[in-house]
Structure 1
Amino acid sequence: MAHVLITGSADGLGLMAGRLLIGQGHTVTLHARDTVRAAHARVVLPAAENVLVGDLGSLDGIRSVATQANATGRFDAVIHNAGIGYREPHRVETVDGLSQLFTVNVLAPYLLTASMTPPDRLVYLSSGMARSGDADLSDPQWTDRRWSGAQAYSDSKLFDVLLALGVARRWPDVLSNSVEPGWVATKMGGPGAPDDLDRGPVPQGWLAVSDDEAAKVTGRHFYHQEERSVPAEAHEATVQDALLDYCAELTGTSIRASR
């Protein structure tokens, strides 16, 4: 059985994935951004092994979660589920002077990956909106452009695909993939979302633990346990490296190629 960490799992798809994996006999550690949400997670899913606490909206918070994770021992899989949506009417800046949306959706999975003991499998939550994303890094923090929450979110979800595929290339011994859970009725997706909520957590759980040969791949993108195409630029090593190098510059922590 696998030992799995799921970020952003105090509710929504992260909590659902945790419940699904525990039901299959796996050991799951949850994550919440504060102690109130952590207490709630412990109540609604008491079978979880642990709940890490840390706000992924700051570099210090991300590093704290990485430190807590490493202190618990190596995980077999990490599901980078945490994310925020695109309904903010204006750009929100973090204590680090960065876009909050970029920090939570992109820098958090990057820095956790770079800081934690590498697991056997990594799963990055993307979105169908990644197809409308722009990988251009001339203004990823939205300091020079008029804010568009939908575009910033789409960009971040494309960046998550780039992150998954870039890590897969740099770390060939780790299975690293991205997945879109569909437009489902979570707090982020809204009550009118048309996709099946019950199917939402299935592909990430499957990629994290399954012995199916179809799940034991790397550098791929999935939707409902089926491979799905992504923009061609996501497969370009130079584009992947540009994002990884940019995140390394912001955080001071690199994801180096394995020897």
Structure 2
Amino acid sequence: MSRIFITGSSQGIGAECARQLIALGHDVVLHARDDARAAAALEANPRAAAVVKGDLASIEQTTALAAAANEQGPFDVVIHNAGLGGKAPERETTADGIERIFHVNVVAPYLLTALIPVAERMIYLTSGLEADGRWNPYDVQGSTREWDGMQAYSDSKMHVSMLAIEVATRHPEAAVNVVDPGWIRTNMGGSEAWDPVELGAETQVWLADSDEPAATATGRYLKRREELEPNPAVRDADARAALVYELIKLTGVPVP
């Protein structure tokens, strides 16, 4: 039995990951943005060990969330599931002055990675659209170009893939992987998506639960348990270092 923390687990893929892992006998700590979503998370998974709250679009709240999560740890597995889609019609910035999609999808998992001890297994969610991400070390938030929500989303999923592989490189003692769950029928994926939520959670559950050698390897970009080749920026050590440098500047927190 493992102690597992899943961000963004009040609904969608995160809630389904929690359901499957609880059914397998694991202790799962949920995460929700606010009180209402916390109640929904516990309603969906009443056998969860706990739920911690925090808005990932806030550096202050994400820092407090990390502290609350650490009180529920240590964790054997951390699944960085939470994310924001690319449907915003115009560029929005958070109270910290950070573009919202970049903040939730990249800055938040970076902060949590830096502030929660690295688990034996670390899983980060990306998207197949990371292949369309455009690496620009001088403008990681895309502030100098015309707004395109889906491009911002694609960039953010490339960035979080870069973060995952950087963590894998820095922590060879851990199994750190990034997963494309596919186009899943959730509030984010929409009703036209072709895969059910159960399938969207399957690879993460396998990585968290299985002791098969294929599940405990590290540094991979996976979909349906198969290793794929990510955006070239993900394998570029200099690009990853530049991204981490920008994240340190934004947060003031170095990654271990």
Aligned-partner Cα distance in 1 for 2:115–2:146? 33
Q: Secondary structure at the match of 1:201?
A: helix
RMSD: 1.0
Structure 1: 4+ residue segments shifted above 4 A: none
Aligned residue number for residue 140 of structure 1: 140
Aligned residue number for residue 96 of structure 1: 96
1:207-230 deviation line (CA, Å, top 9, x unaligned): 122101101111101001111111
Aligned residue number for residue 211 of structure 2: 211
Equivalent pair of 2:140/2:243 in contact (CA under 8 Å)? no
Aligned residue number for residue 109 of structure 2: 109
Aligned-partner Cα distance in 1 for 2:199–2:205? 11
**Which amino acid counterpart does residue 220 of structure 2 have in structure 1?**
R
- Give the drift of 1:175: 1.2
Aligned residue number for residue 131 of structure 2: 131
Aligned residue number for residue 87 of structure 1: 87
Aligned-partner Cα distance in 2 for 1:94–1:255? 22
Aligned residue number for residue 171 of structure 1: 171
Aligned residue number for residue 21 of structure 2: 21
Percent of pairs identical after alignment? 44
1:68-92 deviation line (CA, Å, top 9, x unaligned): 0111221001000000100000011
**Which amino acid counterpart does residue 122 of structure 1 have in structure 2?**
M
What TM-score, normalized by structure 2, do the two folds share? 0.97
Aligned-partner Cα distance in 2 for 1:47–1:196? 23
- Give the drift of 1:233: 2.6
Q: Aligned pair 1:36/2:36, yes or no? A: yes
Equivalent pair of 1:31/1:53 in contact (CA under 8 Å)? yes
Equivalent pair of 2:16/2:197 in contact (CA under 8 Å)? no
Equivalent pair of 2:3/2:73 in contact (CA under 8 Å)? no
**Which amino acid counterpart does residue 249 of structure 1 have in structure 2?**
K
Aligned-partner Cα distance in 2 for 1:26–1:192? 32
Ranges in structure 1 where 5+ consecutive residues have no aligned partner: none
Aligned-partner Cα distance in 1 for 2:245–2:211? 33
Aligned length: 256
